Amino acid sequence: MEDDLVGYLLDCLDEEAAKKVEARLAQDVELRRRLDVVRQALAPLAADAAPIEPPPDLAARTLMRVAESARRLPVAPRVRSFAASARSFWRRSDALVAACLLVTVLGLALPAILHLRSGAARSECQNNLRTFFTALEAYHDRHGNFPNVQAEAPHNVAGLVVPILIDAGTLSADMNIRCPGVGAPQSCPFTLEQIRAMSQEEFQRHAAALSGCYAYSLGYQDQEGYFCPSKQSELPGSIMPIMADALPPSDGSNNSPNHAGKGQNVLFLDGSARFFTVRRVGADDDLYFNKVQKMAAGLGRTDFVLGHSASSP
């Protein structure tokens, strides 16, 4: 009966067997006690329930390993075939079949490889965002709020979050600001001191490069004025976005291009980073525009807007 209890808890029994177990449980107190014991024994397995992200090049490395193993196999003895001596070993039909097989195998393997690579890029991007969160949280602990880019006027753009964190010592100067789904790592090209010394014209030329592929919160404004992002809110952090894959300045309708337009990773104030296939984190809250469809400070504390590097509150 223990096997049936395990199968029942893991939902592995067919419908008829499951009903028999439920009927016995309803009548047998001792069996219910044993079910609780088995349930407690299986509880640690839940820690391993999350799917493991495979390495990005698993399929390619597997094919290479198979090829290397094939080369190490002993050479089979040659067998003379008098019937085949009148023709070459490879006929046209043989070559055609081999070519068809090769095309078929490549056609099956390539989508799998591309899928693994895109999944790995999303995972690495989320890790990037979590590193940003560690730096943002350390900055918040010191200052009581997250970086206020509006305070850097006239150089007040969302991308300033990166040099501000680096200047505060909470973020490494070589932190990657380029999404792994786009290309090789890239760090912020300017320090906060260099930016403050720039003319407005020079600053405008370089503003888009400050936070690279990532967007940062533009804060919000209401009747009392402008407010930079902060943890001081009655809303749970799991629904309050602070950074994400950026929307480029020229695109106002699609997902971020960082992951081939399929969606964007979003970092929340509870430290979680999740992938969204749409630009909304709530019923009607666009990640990149406020309530009047502008990439500017939100209109109220529940209007969250994440601006690209060159956008201003």
The answer, yes or no, to whether residue 227 has pLDDT greater than 60, is yes
The answer, yes or no, to whether residue 234 has pLDDT greater than 60, is yes
Encode 279-312: b = buried (16+ Cβ within 10 Å), e = exposed.
Answer: bebeeebbbbbbeeeebbbbeebebbbbbbbbbb
3-class DSSP assignment, residue 269: coil
CA 39 to the chain's CA centroid = 33
Residues in the chain: 313
At residue 190, the pLDDT reads 95
CB 121 within 8 A of CB 113: no
Of 24-28, 175-179, 298-302, which one has max mean pLDDT?
175-179
Q: Select from 307, 170, 149, 306 the least CA-distant residue to 240.
A: 306
Looking up tokens 């509006």 gives 150
Looking up tokens 């602070």 gives 242
pLDDT tens readout for residues 46-94: 555 555 566 666 666 776 676 666 555 565 566 554 444 455 555 665 6
pLDDT greater at residue 218 or residue 253: 218
At residue 91, the pLDDT reads 62
Q: Select from 134, 142, 138, 290 the least CA-distant residue to 226.
A: 290
Biggest distance spanned by C-alpha atoms of the chain: 97
